[in-house]
Structure 1
Amino acid sequence: MSDQLKLTGFKVYKTNSKSGGYSYSRKDFYKINITTGRFLFNYAERSIETEDTFLFFGNPRIPYSCEPRSEEHYGYTCLFTEDFMNLNERSESLLQSPLFKIGGTPIFGLNETQKKKLTGLFEEMIKEQETEYAFKDELIRNYMSLIIHEALKMQPSESNIRHNNAAARITSVFLELLERQFPIESTDQPLTLRTAQDYAGYLSVHINYLNSAVKEITGKATSTLISDRIIAEAKALLQHTDWNITEIAYALGFEYPTYFNNFFKKKTGSVPKAVRSSHL
């Protein structure tokens, strides 16, 4: 079923505490779910406790953790790729909304009226995905857009937010986000987050705050951690793929091979070609 999800770009299904969930790679899919139950979310520098029924929006490039705090929970989940949703400027702008940004709060408590309305939209999506209707993808996108717009009209659940050890939390998010950029699996999708400024912008925090937090917790500069991880990936690509050095340079976000060569030599004392030759 996971392979089918990759082919179609979306999947809608029911969830409950007995089903064990649905297996998928969080790195690949956006997520919208409506759930009744108590949970603790760790999101950026905040911990967010939920009660009763809530709506959650997950971005595959923003790490988070979720711990059930009640024995029973149930609801609906929709998984989808950016390509599935990004067919026009309108849907692209929805994905850029605060719902999917780390600077916002992606959790909304629902009253009974909101719960009934949104549950109905999830149920309609589940019915449509099983049909042979030629335009069902567009219809499902419309249902998803309605859910997003309903959330944009709500106030996020700020009352149950605790700010716990902000430096540790933002550092944890940064490190997990850094690791999620790897492994590089295709030369067609080059690394896009390469600098501390890139990560700060993506995480919606000031670069000085990110640098200070990361230094406090890890003892290393943000740029050092990024460079070390890029070097580790470069060595793996040189040793375990047949990509030429130009392709590897591009995959790692370098515009020109000479930039990659200079970066690699500065960090390792060797040129990429020497590393590759030693493993032939």
Structure 2
Amino acid sequence: METGIPGLSWDESKLKGFKVHELSPSVDVPARTGRRDFYKMGLVNGDMTIDYGGQIVEIKGTVLFFINPKVAHSIVRRVNRTSGYGCIFTEGFINKRELQDSPLFSVGDNPVIPLKEDEAFFIGSIFKKMLKAYDGEYPHKADLIKSCIALIIHEALEIQPSQQTKPFINGTSRIAHQFIDLLERQFPIERSSDPLKLRNPQDFAASLAVHVNYLNRAVKEVTGKPTSAHIAARITAEAKALLKHTDWSVADIAYALGFNYPAYFNNYFKRITGTTPNSFRKV
């Protein structure tokens, strides 16, 4: 199974739920991937462009990256030769609470952290330790590798504290962040038979036990965008992911996103993107 990390796949994995690999140099070989059930973490030196949840993220120089499986993503362009290390692991391999508590795997954070030379050297040494343990016969290598993953996470937090860990300044900021968290928790959609339950500002206000006008003011003040704009952008991003990375029919996608009729979804998608779902899928 392809993983979306150049040169890294699940094939012939030596440890259930985990694999680490030294990245092979590659030139102009676009690698697309959808959402999987594993997390990705890597140390990369190169020049590439990633589409992460509908946002274009540029990687230049040496960076540490973290990819959440809930976010649809793909490598859009890889220009120069890349080098470094990558690993993938499932929630079953590492402590699920540790992942949930780690803001570096939050869907709202930038997945890329630029590194200085000494930082890259140290984190590279941890990846080398994981690779040695992975290829070796040490009976407790799973525990050792888990400790290495945790160490990389903490090193990354020290280098660049997550935006999600910043204290709330006031109630307005808290409500805005609760809204964003509630919005993101609805995704990804795994089954067409389990449609979105919260689709408009009124739904979110009721769930957060606040008046919709207060929610709208808080979100606009903190983020600069209306509540409805956040919802529309996230639904559209999910629609694009489902169109590109599943074989669901347009009707199934429409129902999964909470549209009563496929025609409503078609009109909605075209109004926002300028193209129809079927046309987008064929690109």
Structure 2 matches for 1:24-173, cutoff 5 A? 26-44=35-53, 46-86=55-95, 92-155=97-160
| Cα drift, residue 10 of structure 1 | 0.3
Q: 1:167-216: CA deviations, max 9, x gaps? A: xxxxxxx9xx96x53358xxxxx96965448xx89xxx969956435658
The alignment status of 1:15 with 2:32, answered yes or no, reads: no
From 252, 255, 261, give the equivalent of 1:232: 252
Q: Which has the larger radius of gyration?
A: 1
Q: 1:60 is paired with a residue of what secondary structure? A: coil
Q: Distance in 2 between matches of 1:99 and 1:144?
A: 12
Shift of 1:84: 0.6
Label 1:132 to 1:209 Cα distance change in 2 as closer, same or farther (>3 A).
farther
Counterpart-to-counterpart distance in 1, 2:83 and 2:199:
39
Residues in 1 aligned to 2:103 and 2:235: alpha-carbon distance in whole angstroms? 29
SS in 1 for 2:23: strand
SS of match in other structure, 2:22: strand
Q: Which moved more, 1:61-70 or 1:34-43?
A: 61-70
CA distance in 1, matches of 2:131, 2:157: 23
| One-letter amino acid matched to 2:117 | E
Distance 1:129 1:25, change over 3 A: farther
Query: CA offsets per residue over residues 224-251 of structure 1, 9 Å max, x none?
Result: x9xx989838x9xxxxxxxxxxxxxxxx
Read off the aligned partner of 1:103 and give its amino acid letter.
G
Aligned partner (choices 7, 10, 34) of residue 2 of structure 1: 10
The one-letter amino acid paired with 1:232 is D
RMSD: 4.9
Separation in 2 of the partners of 1:193 and 1:132? 46
Q: Is the 8 A contact 1:33 1:56 kept in 2?
A: yes
Distance 1:209 1:132, change over 3 A: farther
* Amino acid of the structure 1 residue aligned with 2:95: N
Structure with the bigger RCO (C-alpha within 8 Å, sep 6+) is 1
Preserved contact between residue 30 and residue 81 of structure 1 (Cα < 8 Å) = yes
- How far apart are the structure 1 equivalents of 2:115 and 2:88? 20
Task: Please give the TM-score of this superposition, normalised by the length of structure 1.
Answer: 0.56
- The one of 176, 183, 190 aligned to 1:182: 190
Give how far 1:61 is off.
0.9
Contact 1:125 1:143 (C-alpha < 8 Å) held by counterparts: yes
